[in-house]
Structure 1
Amino acid sequence: MTWSATERGAGPEPIRDVPGEGVSPLGSDGTAERAGIPWPPGTASGVGSLPDLDPVEAARYVLGEVPDLPFLPELPGRGVGADIIGRSCALLVDLPVDFQPSGWRLVPRPGLDLRRARDLLARDLDAFTEAAAGYTGPLKVSAAGPWTLAGGVELPRGHKALADQGAARDLAEALAEGLVAHLADLGRRIPGARMLVQLDEPSLPAMLAGHIRTPSGFSVLPAVEEGPATERLAGVLSAVTGAASVAASGVHCCAPDVPLDLLRRAGARFVGLDATLLTRAQDDAVGEAVEAGVGLMFGLVPTDGAGNLSDPRRTVAVAVDLWRRLGFAPELLGEVVAVTPTCGLANARVGDARAALRHCREAARVLVESPQ
């Protein structure tokens, strides 16, 4: 396989029309009409990762703690192949990888590390299938997005795939194809589930700012331009949204400076972010996303066990204050916003992770019952 961008054609295809773009959940009186929000009011969920639990225990834990929007757990504490990049590489079609001292790398043929990653994913699916027997409702499934994957996988000679336009495009296409097959498998296993596909893009803000370092660490890669970034992300979102059993697709980014406008233009039907990092400069972008019908997963509950989890009203104060500044009807908040931890819970203690998800439920109820 070659990686020359010049052999790939004249550039990416134009963005397709985005399904649901411009569909606002706001009525003429500023109240919510529930148009396009893919979860029920007062919903809580997790970001994706959990502490080092047994897959069966993790599946039961998720279905019990966040029953309105459970998620297929990620358990990176098991080591190589269970991390976000390795798990996503297990989905790639016809692009084998191997784990090197510097991280995941594209290789000519599958090896032991890829087999391990696929085996871990298969165990997770078997465990969740058993625990979710008879389940009906939304189910969140996540994978690394095309840009974070391109920044986390190396070419055969050691450069980041992000540095080669052709390689990055190949990764995105292989990811989209693999995700569609993955979702079809889940749909057969849990036929009552309506899938919400979450692309994790924690590296995207750094890529747009030109802050991604080369493997040597002595220089940085050129910044990714917004146009290509939007188009590449739109391609994957469009592919998975068209898959059977998929209700919506969106993007999660727990880094500062989430590019909300870019994600909305790419067709994300929901966006997950750490709401405690939002600044007033982002108010307009949040407001435009809401008016366009985009659901928001607000990370409000700390993941390090150090936050005060005794008062859910204090937890949601950030969201309530934002809504007041935007001038939206208070009842819209619990309709559009689902509450999550600020980021993944892989590094939390098991007890702290359980407490965080339980507190997310309590905070989500506050947004519905008394958002003032």
Structure 2
Amino acid sequence: MIPSPELRATGVGALPQRDPDAACRAVLTVFPEIPFIPTLPNRGLLESIVFADSEHLPGGVVREGRLTVDRGTDPSEAMEQILLDYLEGNAEPYRVGEAYGSGFHAMMGRDLSGPLLVKCQVTGPVTFGMQVVDETRRPILYDPEYADLLGKLLALRARWCEEAMRERMGARATLVVLSEPYLASLGSGVVPVDPGVAASAFGDIADLLEGGLGIHCCANTDWGFVLRLAPAVVSIDAWTYAREFLLYADDVARYMETGGVVAWGVVPADYAVFAAETSDSLFARFRDIRARATETIDPDLFDRQSLITPTCGIRNAGEQEATAIMEATALLSRRLRGEEP
């Protein structure tokens, strides 16, 4: 688990900047206590979700802007090496290349020994496996070999990130959050996701990490399933789905009692929606969520194990607009903590 955030604030992942140093400065200015390492998808395809964690995928090729696996080459040797590296905890070969994570490399030049926690994002295995397809356009999550491999491949990626945050940035505590919008497919009859496959992949990642591992899903899903995985953090779009999430209030209470943290994405990452709000309206919205939650959850526990974030990454906004969204998130946190009226 991670240190209790006590209503502190951080961001989710993506920012619109193309200059990684500028993006890191913006994050550290607004979220000095719990900074996140920004991803910068506007710099190019390789820094967007899925692609950013694909550089070591056996057989992976980019065709017409889509990531696929090429069955024309035999991936078995590369797959075996990943399994061996996973068993040995050898994460160094799975480091983030600068073309895939310029924000990560820019943050490695900074001393982050002061913050309570340092956070980064890695694509989750379900989203990765549903977005990457074979030559028949079948998601590789439906391929038993790749389904078993993905958790281990992404575990090595996450382990390298964790080690880099600790050793290269001086982080006292680390959090790797899996971006998992495709968890919305749990129970779907159209694009189904096997809960057993998802749980196994998550377990592979959790087993390799020493610090915190979280899950971010900005859609609605089977929250009971997610909470039972016992991640350090469950990150949700609380602006849209707080009511649905709190249908599992008993599960949330048990989760928090065992040290789990809920990251309440209550500040809209969509600037058009955000622009219609005020500091007072965001404060009132969160207080309403808190009132509903604390009908079941002890209020002190709720405050201790809650984190405040935007609803999702802030990609589709201007740089000043993204900064305004982050600053509103930080201001909301300070008001909730009684540091500002």
On whether the aligned pair clears a TM of 0.5, the verdict is: yes
Task: Identify the residue that residue 148 of structure 1 maps to in structure 2.
Answer: 127
Note the residue ranges of structure 1 that are not aligned, 5 or more in a row: 1-35, 111-116, 213-222
Report the TM-score when normalising by structure 2: 0.82
CA distance, structure 1, for counterparts of residue 69 and residue 225 of structure 2: 28
CA distance, structure 2, for counterparts of residue 193 and residue 37 of structure 1: 10
In the TM superposition, structure 1's runs of 4+ consecutive aligned residues that sit over 6 Å from their partners are: none
Letter in 2 for 1:97: G
Task: Identify the residue that residue 76 of structure 1 maps to in structure 2.
Answer: 41
Task: Identify the residue that residue 252 of structure 2 maps to in structure 1.
Answer: 286
- Which of these residues, 270, 276, 280, is aligned with residue 233 of structure 2? 270
Structure 2 residue 229 is the aligned partner of structure 1 residue 260: no
Structure 1 residue matching 2:190: 3-state secondary structure = coil
Q: Per-residue displacement from partner, 1:191-239 (whole Å, max 9, x unpaired)?
A: 2342101011110121432332xxxxxxxxxx23323322221221222
Note the residue ranges of structure 2 that are not aligned, 5 or more in a row: 76-95
Q: Per-residue displacement from partner, 1:72-119 (whole Å, max 9, x unpaired)?
A: 1011111210101111113x3x62522112611124499xxxxxx833
Structure 1 residue matching 2:170: 3-state secondary structure = coil
Pairing 1:184-223 to 2, within 5 Å after superposition = 184-212=163-191, 223=192
Q: Per-residue displacement from partner, 1:274-312 (whole Å, max 9, x unpaired)?
A: 112122533333233223321110000011223313314
Cα distance, 1:52 vs structure 2: 2.9
Contact 2:187 2:193 in 1 (8 A): yes
The alignment covers a number of residue pairs equal to 310
Structure 2 residue 157 is the aligned partner of structure 1 residue 178: yes
Task: Identify the residue that residue 321 of structure 1 maps to in structure 2.
Answer: 291
Contact 2:41 2:48 in 1 (8 A): yes
Structure 1 residue matching 2:46: 3-state secondary structure = coil
Q: Per-residue displacement from partner, 1:110-154 (whole Å, max 9, x unpaired)?
A: 9xxxxxx83323533331122446555311011111111101112
> CA separation of 1:301/1:133 partners in 2, compared to 1, >3 Å: closer, same or farther?
closer
Task: Identify the residue that residue 345 of structure 1 maps to in structure 2.
Answer: 314
- Which of these residues, 304, 312, 317, is aligned with residue 335 of structure 1? 304
CA distance, structure 1, for counterparts of residue 172 and residue 257 of structure 2: 27
> CA separation of 1:186/1:134 partners in 2, compared to 1, >3 Å: closer, same or farther?
closer
Structure 2 residue 63 is the aligned partner of structure 1 residue 100: yes
Contact 2:236 2:311 in 1 (8 A): yes
Task: Identify the residue that residue 358 of structure 1 maps to in structure 2.
Answer: 327
Structure 1 residue matching 2:236: 3-state secondary structure = strand
CA distance, structure 2, for counterparts of residue 86 and residue 166 of structure 1: 20
Report the TM-score when normalising by structure 1: 0.76
Contact 2:256 2:301 in 1 (8 A): no
Structure 1 residue matching 2:22: 3-state secondary structure = helix
Letter in 2 for 1:282: Y
Structure 2 residue matching 1:326: 3-state secondary structure = coil
Structure with greater proportional helix content: 2
Q: Per-residue displacement from partner, 1:145-192 (whole Å, max 9, x unpaired)?
A: 111110111225542102212212112211112322333233331123
Contact 2:112 2:118 in 1 (8 A): no
Structure 2 residue 130 is the aligned partner of structure 1 residue 167: no
> CA separation of 1:290/1:184 partners in 2, compared to 1, >3 Å: closer, same or farther?
closer
> CA separation of 1:98/1:318 partners in 2, compared to 1, >3 Å: closer, same or farther?
farther
Name the Cα RMSD after superposition: 2.5
Structure 2 residue 23 is the aligned partner of structure 1 residue 58: yes
